[in-house]
Structure 1
């Protein structure tokens, strides 16, 4: 059922997993061994993007831009702690599941154990908050330079992500405009009284924290596998079982933060371009002084 042995002692894969790239990737590139698809489609690819994210964060750090991420939900367990609390992200760093509420974290771990014992996998929601982004990154003119569009593209490119929300996200469809749009106040500078927009209006950063949520589906490899079909003889089988985790949501939050950092850095350097960091800093200072006196 599982396939024949290959020269490197890996089993060839003829039984695609539902929910993975196996079958469609094999059809697209005419692979008869679906291992050629599943290995390349693996989220191991994101290790390189996490490394790049670490570098671009260092580029943005001198400008006061900070990235904070946490897990908001694992399956049916939600972390309801307030991320604006002073010690929230310290608790997240010390949590095995990336929660800010210790009781919720314990429930999440118990839930994961329950899911594992049943041969299932589980997904969740991760959230990244970017502080210190100046107003004006992105564009309201060019569709391909809209900051929220590029953030959504980057996050959706992460394996297993099936939904992205900026700020209130889908919640904006449920309530009237007066409770959605953020009122503007001036005190030394312009700022919003709320942040339902998640720091982006008209495709541009507005100076408020940028808030991005991403929904990760359960991992397709199940130890109690789903039904599928052998691509060679078309017989019914159980899907191939590969090495896999039960829950990768905490790791996903690290990946999502990295791709968001890359997109923010790209938009930042598009706005404040220069041949060296001194030029970038000079352009940044001039711009920030100008909009402060707008």
Structure 2
């Protein structure tokens, strides 16, 4: 079973992940993985932390000669900013200036109460979205496996605040996707891009933050990943849960779920057809998943991110001693929606890779390809 465990604090020495269950002989291009980390750091509205960190993975184990060995893969991302926080993050000496004022919208108060902590920094060092850097690395490694089967996962920004990109975009189209990647906010429409940037500038001048929505699509996904037999094996459950675990995400939609809820059933069922000898759907309202199982159509997801709760605008809170206070400001982004799409791509890549290995199990990439080819051939023959 493919799984991983990650560790590290926002201003600690490093972020680390151990990936277990990854097959042998998968070619790993480290520069492609570092490219994903670079993409995560981009986007208009990011904070000064992104100017400090130059995220790259350091492979500790599990990869040799450019290929995976079948052993656990251990990767690390150094936190360059740690040099500025050595005293605060010292593992042996207690830092005298403890954080006592929880920020509404964060894990601060809940975490301090749950873990009986008197310094809130212990909570938000781990709860921080900085943790998504190592998750992107794990997803990018997973994508190296999926690349062997021509799987592609792309994303775009649909909205920031109340500004929407209503373009009809083909995310599988290389020209369309190049335009999205060149955008400062990762949207397709240039007029919408300008309005989004203006809104981010306005929010920044007011000491405010912004959320928004991103769309993620996974292409060339075979029919049959996931299962209807148990709730925790359903692909929509796994994908939605994984995306909802990303810091700031408060809603996830598969396919046209929200629109479909307003329609008659026959209007949003995806009629089944035969195309080139294969079962297909002539629409994709279900977003590529029916009954918890992928149906061969692209997996289509939308993730909705709330505004980052760390604002320069002070709001009411209560400190750990019960005194009424104003919220404190900690260095933060104004808008991280452009980065969210990149994070989601890689989070989805891990979940798809995990389901892929469950379906086409094997210790080496060669065994997995044999299983995959037999399965695809069986479906075609049927």
Question: When the two structures are superposed, what TM-score results if normalisation uses the length of structure 2?
Answer: 0.73
In structure 1, the residue corresponding to 2:246 is in which secondary structure? Answer: coil
2:290 to 198, 201, 223: 201
How far residue 256 of structure 1 moved from its aligned partner, in angstroms, is: 1.1
In structure 2, the residue corresponding to 1:71 is in which secondary structure? Answer: strand
Q: Structure 1 residue 227 and structure 2 residue 316: aligned?
A: yes
In structure 2, the residue corresponding to 1:241 is in which secondary structure? Answer: coil
Counterpart in the other structure of 1:236 = 324
1:178 to 266, 270, 279: 266
2:149 to 54, 63, 71: 63
Question: Structure 2 CA distance, aligned partners of 1:211 and 1:134?
Answer: 14
Q: Structure 1 residue 53 and structure 2 residue 136: aligned?
A: no
Counterpart in the other structure of 1:214 = 303
In structure 2, the residue corresponding to 1:113 is in which secondary structure? Answer: helix
In structure 2, the residue corresponding to 1:148 is in which secondary structure? Answer: helix
- After superposition, give the CA deviation of every residue in 1:130-151 in whole Å (9 maximum; x if it has no partner): 0000000000112211111000
How far residue 61 of structure 1 moved from its aligned partner, in angstroms, is: 0.7
Question: Structure 1 CA distance, aligned partners of 2:327 and 2:151?
Answer: 45
How far residue 225 of structure 1 moved from its aligned partner, in angstroms, is: 2.0
Q: Structure 1 residue 125 and structure 2 residue 237: aligned?
A: no
Counterpart in the other structure of 1:42 = 128
Q: Structure 1 residue 22 and structure 2 residue 108: aligned?
A: yes
In structure 2, the residue corresponding to 1:186 is in which secondary structure? Answer: strand
- After superposition, give the CA deviation of every residue in 1:37-88 in whole Å (9 maximum; x if it has no partner): 1111001111111001111111011211101111111010111112217432
Q: Structure 1 residue 99 and structure 2 residue 99: aligned?
A: no
Counterpart in the other structure of 1:90 = 178
Counterpart in the other structure of 2:281 = 192
Q: Structure 1 residue 72 and structure 2 residue 174: aligned?
A: no
Runs of 4 or more above 6 Å deviation:
none
Question: Structure 2 CA distance, aligned partners of 1:280 and 1:10?
Answer: 54
Q: Structure 1 residue 159 and structure 2 residue 240: aligned?
A: no
Question: Structure 2 CA distance, aligned partners of 1:205 and 1:102?
Answer: 34
Contact 1:13 1:240 in 2 (8 A): no
Question: When the two structures are superposed, what TM-score results if normalisation uses the length of structure 1?
Answer: 0.95
How far residue 12 of structure 1 moved from its aligned partner, in angstroms, is: 2.4
Aligned pairs, number = 288
Give the unaligned 5+ runs of structure 1: 1-5
Question: Structure 2 CA distance, aligned partners of 1:10 and 1:123?
Answer: 35
In structure 2, the residue corresponding to 1:228 is in which secondary structure? Answer: strand
Counterpart in the other structure of 1:138 = 226
Question: Structure 1 CA distance, aligned partners of 2:205 and 2:260?
Answer: 38
